[in-house]
Amino acid sequence: MKLKLDENGNVVLADGKPVYIHDDGKEIPFDAGAAMQKIAQLNGEAKSHREAREAAEVLAKKFEGIEDPAAALKALQTIKNLDDKKLIDAGEAEKVKAELAAAYEGRLKGKDEELSKLQGQLHTELIGGSFSRSKTIAEKLAIPADIAQSFFGQRFKVEDGKVVAYDSNGSKLYSRVKPGELAGFDEALETLIDSYPHKDSILKSSGSSGSGSGGNTGGGSSSSAKSLADCKTDAERVAYLQANTK
C-alpha cells in the first residue's frame, strides 16, 4: 500500500483525506481520525482483556491444588445450604429420630407378638404332641391324652426347645434311669402320676377289682361315680378329676 501522488509529486486528496493505492490497485482514502479512534478502542479492549486475565490468574492461585472443580462447587453449595439453614436443623433432626424410633418400636412389637405366637405354637406342639404320643398314657391310664394333659400339662414347660417337667415344689424332675439328666416325658409323667394321691382313680383296671371293673355294670352316674373307670364320657372324667383334686 502506497500514497497516490499527482504528476507534480503531491499527495492526492479525496474529501481532505490522502488516497492510498492498495496492492490490488484499489484507491481508498485514509481517514486518520477514524483510524486513531479505532486504535484507541482496540487498546482499551486489550487493556481490559489483560486486566481480566491478570485477575483470573490471581483467583486461580487461590484454588491451586483443587483437581475436581465440580466437587469443589458442590462443597461450596453444601456450605451455602448450611448457611441458609436449608438442611435439617436440630429440632427437625430430633423429630426425625423420634419418628424412626417409633417405627422401630412398632416393628419390634410386631416381632415380639409374632415370636410369642410361635412360642405358643411350639409349646402346644411339643407338650401336646408328647401327651398324644405317650406310651404311659396309652398303656397305663384310663383317661385319654387330652384329659391327662389338662390335668398334668401345667407341670411341663418348653425350655431351649425341650419339654421339661417340674414337681409340685417347682423343682425340675431328673431321671432315675439316667442320673444327672432331666427326666424324659414318659418317665416324668410316671413320677407325677405316682405322686398323685388319687392315682388309682386314673389308672387302668387290673381286672381284679370286682364288679366295678370291666364293662361298668353297676350303673353309677357321673355324680355318684366311685372311680374314674365308672365315668362314661370325657366330661364326666373331667368332672370327677376336678371333684377329687380340690
In a domain, 176, yes or no: yes
In a domain, 39, yes or no: yes
What are the tens digits of pLDDT across the range 185-198? 999 999 999 998 88
CA distance 65 to 124: 71
Beta bridge partners of 20: 3, 28
What are the tens digits of pLDDT across the range 123-162? 778 888 899 899 999 999 988 888 888 889 899 998 888 8
pTM exceeding the 0.85 threshold for the entire prediction: no
Domain ranges, residue 26: 1-56
Helices (H), 8-127: 32-62, 69-83, 90-123
pLDDT, greater one: 147 or 110 = 147
Are 40 and 147 members of one domain? no
Look at residue 225 in the predicted model and tell me its pLDDT: 63
Are 134 and 233 members of one domain? yes
Are 158 and 42 members of one domain? no
Among residues 36, 56, 76, the one where a domain terminates is 56
In a domain, 239, yes or no: yes
Helices (H) and strands (E) in the chain, counts: 8, 6
Phi, psi of 157 (to 5 degrees): -135, 160
Look at residue 186 in the predicted model and tell me its pLDDT: 93
Query: Which has the minimum average pLDDT: 13-27, 62-76, 92-106, 203-217?
Result: 203-217
In a domain, 127, yes or no: yes
pLDDT, greater one: 3 or 58 = 58
What average pLDDT does range 162-184 have in this prediction? 91
In a domain, 147, yes or no: yes
Look at residue 68 in the predicted model and tell me its pLDDT: 75
**Of 31, 26, 2, nearest in space to 14 by CA:** 31
Look at residue 74 in the predicted model and tell me its pLDDT: 80
At 213, the pLDDT band (50, 70, 90 cuts) reads very low
In a domain, 101, yes or no: no
21 sits in which H/E element:
strand 17-21
Question: Above 50 in pLDDT, residue 16?
Answer: yes
In a domain, 92, yes or no: no
Query: Which has the minimum average pLDDT: 33-37, 179-183, 214-218?
Result: 214-218
Are 42 and 125 members of one domain? no
CA distance 166 to 155: 5
Look at residue 82 in the predicted model and tell me its pLDDT: 63
Domain count, the chain: 2
214 sits in which H/E element:
none
How many residues in total does the chain contain? Answer: 246
